[in-house]
């Protein structure tokens, strides 16, 4: 490993606002569960200064075809553009990176469908890729321009959803995670092993759920349905799910929007029970908070975020260069140390500090209960969106 790799990882470790332990509790999922590692990813954390609002970017660029310059327009969940990674890329390529953040796959898809505001790189989750393929919203990626692709785990390199119907590669995996049940162990009576805890009236006003379709997943699993089972007899099952969500709604403190918000709610003690990423809990544990995470007996949803290049991207060479940069083992390890989220870059793990590599992880039973989010058909995503609107309006 190079001196540059060591310096980059150690520099990020010293600067990390989330602890090293937050990372490897998740990274160990990948290292300890080879099968589970093959298929998912996660995201969300504090934004860097370059961030812009998605809607504003579209409004400002609408109707004009700007000349291609040595500038990269990156649209990403906020953990995927750490300042050090941007700085090193800009210096190496003598380029400028413009970062736009979003929260939620539906938000990203809607903006790309509306024109994409000249995005060169986007990062959809694996289970939404089919919608981009069917609508011709993304274009093939040339792995030959990404030599660091060789550093990925073999199990994640060639999964079916990464290819279009003609066999062209349209995405490259990066980060994975699990959205689970998180709780304040000082205040919540145990044992906590079921989604029923998030529907317990004794915690009324102290429960928060994610303001995305993930709330639907949690409600469905609390009823005993798997995420795959929602594909059959969908309308009848979603009526049950809606009733379950409406049952919970009066108990909620709020629906949160963004991982920094949920961290704040848990740290303040306003929220005792949360439906959020495992990394949030692990990071707060390292900071001294008794915030625990569990994969409920009924299951929890898992996901893997991907690099993709929009059909209208203007700087293809720089887009490929960015993917290659982020797959560099030193860069991937540094991101992991700083943010707490594990990548699928196998060669990054030997670069991690020993205390991270030795940290506890989900056990095999918990990993066995993770349900990787299916690639639902378009009509189901539309139905999920309407269901969210119906429940919030009720």
* pLDDT per position as a tens digit, 107-129: 899 889 888 668 999 999 999 99
Show the tokens assigned to 196. Answer: 């029923």
Q: Name which of 156, 124, 138, 84 is nearest 342 in CA terms.
A: 156
Q: In 69-148, where does DSSP find H-type helix? A: 83-93, 105-113, 129-134
Confidence of residue 332 (pLDDT cuts 50, 70, 90): very high
- The Cα–Cα gap between 348 and 330 comes to 6
Residue 174 predicted with pLDDT over 60: yes
Res. 24: pLDDT tops 50:
no
- Which residue's structure tokens are 């390529």? 93
Total Cβ atoms within 10 A of residue 157: 16
Band of residue 218 on the pLDDT scale cut at 50, 70, 90: very high
Higher pLDDT, 260 or 53: 260
Q: 53 pLDDT exceeds 50?
A: no
Q: Does residue 77 surpass a pLDDT of 70?
A: yes
pLDDT on residue 176: 80
pTM of the full structure: 0.70
**Structural domains of the chain, with CATH:** 38-176+303-361 (3.40.190.10), 178-302+368-393 (3.40.190.10)
The upper half-sphere exposure of residue 332, i.e. CA atoms within 13 Å in the direction of its Cβ, equals 27
* Arithmetic mean of pLDDT over the chain: 82
Q: What angle do CA 266, 271, 272 make, to 5 degrees?
A: 95
Average pLDDT over residues 19-24: 36
Distance separating the N- and C-terminal Cα atoms of the chain: 57
User: Residue 140: is its pLDDT beyond 80?
Assistant: yes
Structural contact between residues 13 and 20, judged by C-beta atoms closer than 8 angstroms: yes
For residue 318, give both structure tokens. Answer: 């720089």
SS3 (DSSP) at 275: strand
The tens digit of pLDDT for each residue in 334-369 reads 887 776 677 889 899 889 877 666 443 567 788 789
Separation CA 112–CA 29 (nearest Å): 32
- Residue 357's region, left for phi above 0, alpha for psi from -120 to 50, else beta, is alpha
* For helices 378-393 and 214-222, angle between their N-to-C axes, nearest 10 degrees: 80
Report the SS3 class of residue 212.
Answer: coil
């Amino acid at each position: 490993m190079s001196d540059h790799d060591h310096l980059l990882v150690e520099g990020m470790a010293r600067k990390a606002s989330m602890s090293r332990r937050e990372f490897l509790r998740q990274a160990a999922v990948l290292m300890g569960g080879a099968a589970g590692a093959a298929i998912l990813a996660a995201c969300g954390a504090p934004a860097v200064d370059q961030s812009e609002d998605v809607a504003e970017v579209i409004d400002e660029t609408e109707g004009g075809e700007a000349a291609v310059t040595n500038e990269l327009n990156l649209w990403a969940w906020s953990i995927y553009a750490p300042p050090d990674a941007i700085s090193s890329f800009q210096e190496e390529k003598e380029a400028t990176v413009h970062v736009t953040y979003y929260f939620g796959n539906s938000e990203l898809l809607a903006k790309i469908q509306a024109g994409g505001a000249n995005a060169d790189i986007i990062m959809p989750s694996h289970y939404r890729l089919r919608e981009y393929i069917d609508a011709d919203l993304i274009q093939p990626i040339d792995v030959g321009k990404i030599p660091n692709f060789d550093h990925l785990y073999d199990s994640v390199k060639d999964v079916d959803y990464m290819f279009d119907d003609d066999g062209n590669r349209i995405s490259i995996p990066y980060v994975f995670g699990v959205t689970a049940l998180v709780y304040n162990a000082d205040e919540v009576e145990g044992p906590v092993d079921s989604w029923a805890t998030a529907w317990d009236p004794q915690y009324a006003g102290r429960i928060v759920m994610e303001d995305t379709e993930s709330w639907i997943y949690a409600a469905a699993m609390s009823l005993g349905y798997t995420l795959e089972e929602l594909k059959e007899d969908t309308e009848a099952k979603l009526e049950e799910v809606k009733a379950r969500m409406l049952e919970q709604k009066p108990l909620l403190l709020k629906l949160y929007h963004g991982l920094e918000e949920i961290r704040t709610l848990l740290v303040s003690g306003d929220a005792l029970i949360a439906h959020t990423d495992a990394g949030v809990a692990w990071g707060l544990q390292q900071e001294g908070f008794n915030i625990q995470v569990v994969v409920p007996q009924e299951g929890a949803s898992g996901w893997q975020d991907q690099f993709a290049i929009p059909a209208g991207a203007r700087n293809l060479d720089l887009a490929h260069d960015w993917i290659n940069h982020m797959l560099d083992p030193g860069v991937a390890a540094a991101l992991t140390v700083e943010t707490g989220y594990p990548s699928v870059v196998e060669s990054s793990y030997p670069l991690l500090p020993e205390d991270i590599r030795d940290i506890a992880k989900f056990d095999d039973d918990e990993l066995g209960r993770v349900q990787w989010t299916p690639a639902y058909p378009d009509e189901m995503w539309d139905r999920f969106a309407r269901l969210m609107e119906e429940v919030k309006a009720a």
